[in-house]
Structure 1
Amino acid sequence: MSQTDDTSSSDEEDYGSLGLSMVSITGPSRHDCGYCKGKDTSISFGIWAHNLTCRDYQDLIDRGWRRSGKYLYKPDLEKSCCPQYTIRLDASKFNMTKSQKKVVAKFNKYIKGKSEKKSASLKEFMHEAEEQTEAGDHTFKVELEPASWTQEKFDLYAKYQHHIHHDKKEDISKNGFKRFLVDSPLTQEEIYGSYHQKYLLDGQLIALAVLDILPSCVSSVYFLYDPDYGFLSLGKYSALREISLVQDYHTTIETLHYYYMGFYIHTCPKMNYKGRYAPSDLLDPIDYTWHPIETFKSQLDHQSFVSFVQEKPGERSWPAGWVDPAILETEKVTDQVFVMIGQGRVAPVNCLVKFDASSQFKKEILDYIAAVGIPLAQKMILC
């Protein structure tokens, strides 16, 4: 039932083609924190996704989950050193600040020699650099394509990781790049799925955005760029470009109007800049309702874990946002949680002999249901 590598069987691929998600439980984990450098202070619960529908992933990120390649994890905001709050922006209501306009104007001026549009919509402003003129100093193009591996993309990734994140060259591998930024469990469904957005300057790849396009949002997975072009503020530019992409999709898909920037960490400057794109909301870690980031900030200045659910001290003994274990025991939820048993067959997980024979196995299953929520646990197939 546990899985750490992608060993998808033909059964799993068949179920994936039927529009069903196939996942394995990896369970709880502790890691060193990449933000405050704490030792084993980042705590999460994980699953490995062999196939994942875009609808199911949308529901998972709306419960505080996030993917890295095919590995999905849900941080424990209450116990981790640097709580990670899911953040989203309503792109249909976005207005650029003066400083954000300057980023785009500076970029357009570099490409064309001058920025011609003083007053324009975000879409017009963002696409100005792609307009071809004889007087332009450079040519610029943005291309969106399904996530794929190329040598050019890997070379850019290696340069970025070495110069920006100071990774040792010997630690940067093609397989690592593929697992992290190419492999995705998402099932391609019309426009939905995992994509690479390429930034081409004079025909050369200078930046790459990894994006998931989902029923309600465009979710930013990762962004990397050529350090030689750091003076163009490509990180800030790309965020505005992705907001513009959401606005484009919203014209034909009414429900798709959010831009998810991953996690917001209040105490980390590398992560709290996301709050500068307004209007943004943060996800309550207990009841999964959205609240304006300003409402959170007033409390995050004084405490690291914030929820607007009123709880009595000691009232809850399980992780924040998990389903009450008592509910799972009394409502026979496991009758409708299915596991693959081979040869294209599935069965309720509580029919397995070891469900009752092994208390550890039973706890693993109940923890999984509690972490993903009952509706998703009863939709996704365990393997």
Structure 2
Amino acid sequence: MCRTEKKQIRYLLASELNESDISFLLAKGWRKFGVYFFQPSCPDCSECVPVRVISDEFKPSKSQRRNLKKNRNTDVVFGPLKFSERAFEIYKDHSNQRFSQECDLDEFISGFFSPSAPSLQSEYYLDGELIGLGFLDKGEDCLSSVYFIYDTKFSHLGLGTFSILKEIEHTRSLGLKYYCLGYYVQECQRMSYKNNFRPREHYNWSEDKWEATC
């Protein structure tokens, strides 16, 4: 997560959390995956910065509007977590093509379909075919993006950006203030896309508070 030789991460195992619990932990800089919350605790390093978008103030940029136009035929459905063989196919393809990683079914189910907190998923369809899937947690004041996967045959659609735009829109429609994007590391190119969604706030570890990002 940071450039130190020995990364230090604090873990919290949690189950049966409610929306208030989720919001509290996210507001303190924790990040959730499966049944675990984690938080960087590297000495003298604060490169991993939690960021969140203010949903009701967000306006898409010119390039983001082009992305929306490109995906005008992509249908989006939000609903409860629901496993499918097609979803697993997408996960395997995404893991292999994007990160050269192999995965198995048990890992997929335990990581995404064994919720310890209020959760939902976003589904992306083109001509009736599922081509992308997002996993989110729901707090009392926010939606938090856990992970997004897509069929890499459709990389040209920019589905990663499209999913964030639609999930921010859904956050706003639910009357929630924040869309949480997880950690941002300025020098990590893979995370650079998170800098494109504003206005946003970042968590100041030393001050233990959220601040507006310039």
Does residue 165 in structure 1 map to residue 120 in structure 2?
Answer: no
Does residue 46 in structure 1 map to residue 26 in structure 2?
Answer: no
- Decide which of 84, 87, 93 is 2:48's aligned counterpart: 84
> Which structure 2 segments of 5+ residues have no match?
none
| Greater per-residue strand proportion | 2
Letter in 1 for 2:115: S
Q: Deviations over 1:78-115 (max 9, x none)?
A: 445x721110111111111111111112222xx3xxxx
Q: Deviations over 1:262-295 (max 9, x none)?
A: 111111121132122111110111333211222x
Q: What's the counterpart of residue 187 of structure 2? A: 267
Give identity over the alignment, percent.
27
Q: What's the counterpart of residue 169 of structure 2? A: 244
- Decide which of 69, 72, 81 is 1:105's aligned counterpart: 69
Letter in 1 for 2:146: V
- Decide which of 89, 112, 125 is 1:155's aligned counterpart: 89
Query: Does structure 2 conserve the Cα–Cα contact (< 8 Å) formed by 1:43 and 1:79?
Result: no
Whose Rg is larger? 1
Letter in 2 for 1:67: K
Counterparts of 1:6-21 in structure 2, within 5 Å, are none
Flag the 1:265–1:235 CA change in 2: closer, same or farther, 3 A. same
Letter in 1 for 2:150: Y
Q: What's the counterpart of residue 208 of structure 2? A: 288
Q: What's the counterpart of residue 375 of structure 1? A: none
Query: Does structure 2 conserve the Cα–Cα contact (< 8 Å) formed by 1:76 and 1:83?
Result: no
Query: Does structure 1 conserve the Cα–Cα contact (< 8 Å) formed by 2:21 and 2:139?
Result: no
- Decide which of 119, 139, 144 is 1:214's aligned counterpart: 139
Q: What's the counterpart of residue 183 of structure 1? A: 114
RMSD: 1.7
Does residue 258 in structure 1 map to residue 178 in structure 2?
Answer: yes
Query: Does structure 1 conserve the Cα–Cα contact (< 8 Å) formed by 2:51 and 2:181?
Result: yes
3-state DSSP of counterpart to 2:191? helix
> How many equivalent residue pairs?
214
> Which structure 1 segments of 5+ residues have no match?
1-32, 112-139, 187-192, 251-255, 295-383
Q: Greater relative contact order (Cα 8 A, min sep 6): structure 1 or 2?
A: 2
Q: What's the counterpart of residue 198 of structure 1? A: 123
TM-score by length of structure 1 reads 0.53
Flag the 1:159–1:214 CA change in 2: closer, same or farther, 3 A. same
Letter in 2 for 1:151: E
